[in-house]
Structure 1
Amino acid sequence: MESQTNGTASPAQGEVEIKTGPPSSSSISCPSSSPKAWQYMKESVRPSGLAELQLILLTFSTGIQDAVSFHDFHCFASNQTGNTVFLMLAIALPELSGEMFVTVNIATALGMFLASAWLTGQLGHIVGARRRIYLIVCNLIQTLLVFGTAALQYREGIQLEGANTLISIGLLAFASGSQVVQSRSLRMTEITTAMATAAWVDLVIDPNLLALKNRPRNRRVAFLAALILGTLVGAYIFKTLGSPAALIISGAGKLLVTVMYFFNSAEEEEKSDGGESV
């Protein structure tokens, strides 16, 4: 009989020793911590023809929205140039409040617009203003705000003043502020989706206004045409179906753009001298 050392037997020749301890880290196959889908959502959207189309659609939706908001609330949800002028008139000529404009409505629209622009812009600096996931989430929130306003109007009706009025104005202005900031992040300053003054001026002073190929001019013309058409369509829908229906169509346009962000091409990553992505 062979002796045993320390009470353990050595494996016989030809037998395979089975290890019962925990497996080593090299034997474990871990799934990728960043799936391809998540990497795709983190990509930065590239300014492109599709992005131009998206901004034009948002401009069309803005035209519809402002066409009804001015009639219903005597202020603009998106056009803060007009609101700023009206607010100064309210300070200088308070007796006009209630006739030409409603001071609290204008102040709410301007305040919520600026608050949304600040929040969207500052968060964009942190997470990346053109990241696909950020554009999708922001645009989806804007869409829900517009739909929420339409639902509120369907349920409670439309009044020139009151709590529901301020809520409606606040929701629309907040959505508009975020939208304008996002349009700037796509590096197409010719399409602001809201303010037309600069576009008109830049269009007529363009030294290459009559050139056959002029991308900035084409963008400005498309932007102004979409804003005008959206306003006319908004006025027609308001006259025939009412404000809530117009807002639903405006929100549908924003929802379409939200879905389209899934298909934008991404910017190529810059390469360092060693060939590695920066």
Structure 2
Amino acid sequence: MTFVWYRAFVSKQTGNTVLVALAALESQAVVQTEPHVVISLCVFIAGVAIFGHIGHLIGQHRRVWLIISNVLQTALVFGATALRFWGSDSSNGPESVGVVALLALAMSGQIALALCVKMPELNTTMITGALVMLAVDRNIFKRKNLARNRRVLSLFTIVAGGFIGAAIDRYYSPTFSLLLVATIKTIVTIMFLFNRGTKQRRINLEGTTENARSSVTFLKVIWGD
């Protein structure tokens, strides 16, 4: 959606880097939308630093941080949706820059979260890296291979998302595309309230395992890993 309407990416900063070089030399291959590209690139870098360091302070694996981070990301996407719906529908101007900035900030939090929880297979932005890691995986044909499964599902979902976005752009409106993304992120945020998480365990002298915690409270669930 952002590439079609604003000629910039809000998550794939490799593409923006190439567009900066082409635009700087006034290449005819790109539409001159330098503000969108530069804003997206700068906001994304700042957002990754902010989300990443706050995650370090709170605890990257804490359920409370997973929820807070996703709530912020979802709010940013809803904000971009509202700005697109009630603002100007022009591909240039203050509203368009605002939409790009809000989405770039949301996507920076998304990829920072994926990397900080040690799930590099789901970087949420690139297909190239996932394809390479999948192709060189020695255990690609093993029955149990969680990393492979994540990469394959990631590839399928990114491709499916591209087709869905293209279909929405053709038959509906960019606002609907943003609303769909915001709705999906809302569902993901709610799901973090119900995932099992991890528990601390200890091994006694007989070799059996038991939970280190005898009781589970709401605060422990929210603050747990």
Range into which the TM-score falls when normalised by the shorter chain: 0.7 to 0.9
1:172 aligned onto 2:103: yes
Aligned AA (2:6)? F
Partner of 1:77: 10
Pick closer, same or farther for the CA change 1:270–1:115 going to 2, 3 Å: farther
2: CA distance, partners of 1:276 / 1:245: 48
2: CA distance, partners of 1:226 / 1:149: 22
Q: CA deviation at 1:125?
A: 0.8
Find the partner of 1:121 among 52, 56, 64. Answer: 52
Partner of 2:36: 105
TM-score, normalised to structure 2, is: 0.85
Q: CA deviation at 1:86?
A: 1.2
Q: CA deviation at 1:102?
A: 1.3
Pick closer, same or farther for the CA change 1:99–1:159 going to 2, 3 Å: farther
1: CA distance, partners of 2:189 / 2:136: 34
1:222 aligned onto 2:153: yes
1: CA distance, partners of 2:203 / 2:51: 31
Partner of 2:135: 204
The answer (yes or no) to whether the contact 2:19–2:30 under 8 Å persists in 1 is no
Partner of 1:193: 124
2: CA distance, partners of 1:97 / 1:107: 18
Q: CA deviation at 1:209?
A: 2.5
Cα deviations by residue, 1:118-173 (Å, 9 ceiling, x for unpaired): 00100111110121111111111111111111111111232222111111100000
- Report the structure number with the largest CA radius of gyration: 1
Q: Runs in 1 of length 4+ with deviation above 6 angstroms?
A: none
| Map 1:86-165 → 2, pairs under 5 A | 86-91=19-24, 93=25, 95-96=26-27, 99-165=30-96
| Map 1:236-275 → 2, pairs under 5 A | 236-269=167-200
2: CA distance, partners of 1:150 / 1:188: 29
Structure 1 unaligned residues grouped into runs of 5+: 1-67
Q: CA deviation at 1:194?
A: 1.4
Partner of 1:52: none
Q: CA deviation at 1:89?
A: 2.3
Pick closer, same or farther for the CA change 1:110–1:211 going to 2, 3 Å: same
**Paired positions, count:** 207
TM-score, normalised to structure 1, is: 0.70
Aligned AA (2:40)? A
1: CA distance, partners of 2:92 / 2:10: 15
2: CA distance, partners of 1:151 / 1:98: 31
Q: CA deviation at 1:272?
A: 9.9
Cα deviations by residue, 1:177-208 (Å, 9 ceiling, x for unpaired): 00001111222211111122210111112222
SS of residue matched to 1:96: coil
Cα deviations by residue, 1:80-103 (Å, 9 ceiling, x for unpaired): 111111112233x1x238943411
CA RMSD of aligned residues (A): 2.1
Cα deviations by residue, 1:52-105 (Å, 9 ceiling, x for unpaired): xxxxxxxxxxxxxxxx010011011111111111112233x1x23894341111
Aligned AA (1:87)? V
Structure 2 unaligned residues grouped into runs of 5+: 205-210, 214-225
2: CA distance, partners of 1:116 / 1:189: 18
The answer (yes or no) to whether the contact 2:200–2:212 under 8 Å persists in 1 is no
Aligned AA (2:177)? A
Q: CA deviation at 1:266?
A: 2.4
| Map 1:14-53 → 2, pairs under 5 A | none
Find the partner of 2:144 among 189, 205, 213. Answer: 213
1: CA distance, partners of 2:22 / 2:113: 30
